[in-house]
Every structure is written in C-alpha cells, then in structure tokens.
Amino acid sequence: MIAHKNQTLVRARINGEEVAFFCEPRQTLLEVLRDTLGLTGVKEGCGNGNCGACNVIMDGVLVNSCLVLAVEAEGRSITTVEGLAGPDGLHPLQQSFLEHAALQCGVCTPGFLVAAKALLDHNPHPTEHEVRYWLAGNLCRCTGYDKIVRAVLDAAEKMTA
C-alpha cells in the first residue's frame, strides 16, 4: 500500500508506557492516539483547537492534540484520560466528577479531566475564577459548567487536604 511511503517511526511515553508507532508527517497526534493506538477516550469535537475535547498533557503542558503533529510526540511523555486512573483506583478528579455528576453526555469529560489535572499540577489551590478561566478552552454543551467547576474545586481541596 502507498500509505507505507512517508511513514515515520515515533517513540513516546504514553500514560507511563514506552510506545512506538508509525505515522505520516501530516497526521495529528489526535488521529494517531485514536486510530493507531486505540486511545479513544481522547475525543474530537472540532478538529481545530476550539473545543478542548482532544486535550492531552505533553511534557507537563496542556495541548489540543488536534493541533499537534504526531511526529512532534517523539521523545515526549503524554497523558490522556486513560492514564488518569491508577492501580489504586480513580484519580481524585474522576471521583469528584462522579460525585458531583459533573457530566451529562460525557463527550467533553475526558478533555475537562485532563485540563483540570494540568491545572492542579501547576496550581493546587486554584480559585473559582482561575478554574473558570483555565477551563475556558473546553466546551461543554450539556452542563452549564457549574458542576464541573465545583467538582474541580472540590477535588483540589481533597487532594491537598
């Protein structure tokens, strides 16, 4: 198949595991995560940086994976929603989203969780104002955000208690 032309080998650490994959230079990280690596928790809502559904953390930085080329992942460490829960169970943010029912249709949820994790990694005690501005890159059409904001603030409190 022609598709084998132009393939590049990329090595990255994804959710704590060393991963190697082939991709074309034109492919986005989002495409590879979803289609090649089967990490379909990463969602596509807009494909051009507007909605945050595709959020992942790359070397500690929150990115829209639809705007990152897969080849840029070379040598990087990436966290997706699938990497949040650990062997001891859910991440406190996931637990908090459950308890606050901070989701409805749920398609935005992975992006919000990953974005919120990136926030708390940098700023363990955010104010409500900071949470709202940090999450302004993530669109949710179902919840009106209120419960999401409460869930993040509550998780922050529990994580630092």
Partner 1 sequence: MPEYQYIGKPARRVDALEKVLGTAKYIADRKLPGMLHARCLRSEVPHARIVKLDVTPALAVPGVRGVITSEDFFEHGLYGFPVKDKYMLAYQKVRYVGEAIAAVAADTPEAALAGVQAIICELEPLPGVFDMEHALDADAPQVGPDRPDGEHPNFLDKLIVRKGDPLAVWEQSPIKLEERYTVGPQEHAYIEPEGVLAVPTPEGGVVVYAPNQSPFINHGNLALVLNLPHNLVRVIQPPVGGSFGGKDDIIYESSAQVARLALITGKPVRMVFSREESLIVSYKRDAMRMHIWLAADPDGTLRACKFDGLLDSGAYASESSFTAWRASIHAMGAYRYDACHVDITAVYTNNGYCGAFRGFGNTEVCMAIEQAIDEMAYKVGMDPIDFRLKNCLRLGDETVHGQRLTESVGLAECLMAVRRLSDWDRKRAEYTRRDVACNVSTTNDIRRGIGVAALYHGTSLGAEGQDYANATIAIEQDNSIDITSGLTDYGTGSRTVFTLIAAEELGVRPERIHMQRPDTDTAIESGPTVASRSTMLGGNAMRIAAMNLRQTLDYAAADLLGCELHQLIRHGEAYVGPAEEPVPWERVVAHAREMGLALSAHGKWTAPRINWDHHAGRGTPYMAYHFAAQVAEVEVDMGTGNVQVIGFWAAHDLGKMIFPQGAYGQLYGGIAQGLGYALMEQITFVNGYIQETNFESYLIPTAVDVPEIVGTFIEAPFSHGPYGAKNIAEPAMVPTAPAILNAIYHATGRRVRDLPANLERVLLGHDLAKGGSPRACKLGLHIA
User: Does the protein bind ligand FES through residue 145 (CB under 6 A)?
Assistant: no
* Short-list 31, 55, 71, CA closest to 116: 55
Binding mask 28-47 for ligand FES (x = CB under 6 A): ----------------xxxx
Q: Write each residue from 49 to 78 as x if it is in contact with ligand FES (CB under 6 A), else as -, in one continuous string.
A: xxxxxx---------x-x------------
Which of ligand FES, partner 1, none does 21 bind, CB closer than 5 to 8 A by kind? none
Q: How many residues bind ligand FES (CB under 6 A)?
A: 22
Per CB under 8 A, the segment of 55-63, 80-88, 118-126, 153-161 that binds partner 1 is: 80-88
d(CA 147, CA 7): 44
Cβ of 20: how many Cβ atoms within 10 Å?
A: 8
Q: Is 142 in the site for ligand FES (CB under 6 A)?
A: yes
Question: Could you give phi then psi for residue 35, rounded to 5 degrees?
Answer: -85, -40
The binding track of 100-139 with respect to partner 1, each residue x by CB under 8 A or -, is: xx-xxxxxxxx--x--------------x--xxx-xxxxx
Q: Is residue 148 near partner 1 by the rule CB under 8 A?
A: yes
Tokens of 23: 């991709």
Burial of 54 per CB tally in 10 Å (0-12, 13-18, 19+): buried
The span from the CA of 61 to the CA of 38, in Å, is: 22
Q: Which string of DSSP letters, residue by residue, matches 97-153?
A: HHHTT--SS-SSHHHHHHHHHHHHHH-SS--HHHHHHHGGGS--SSS-SHHHHHHHH
CB 79, min distance to partner 1, A = 12
Residues that bind partner 1 (CB under 8 A): 3, 34-35, 39-48, 50-51, 53, 80-82, 84-85, 90, 94, 97-101, 103-110, 113, 128, 131-133, 135-149
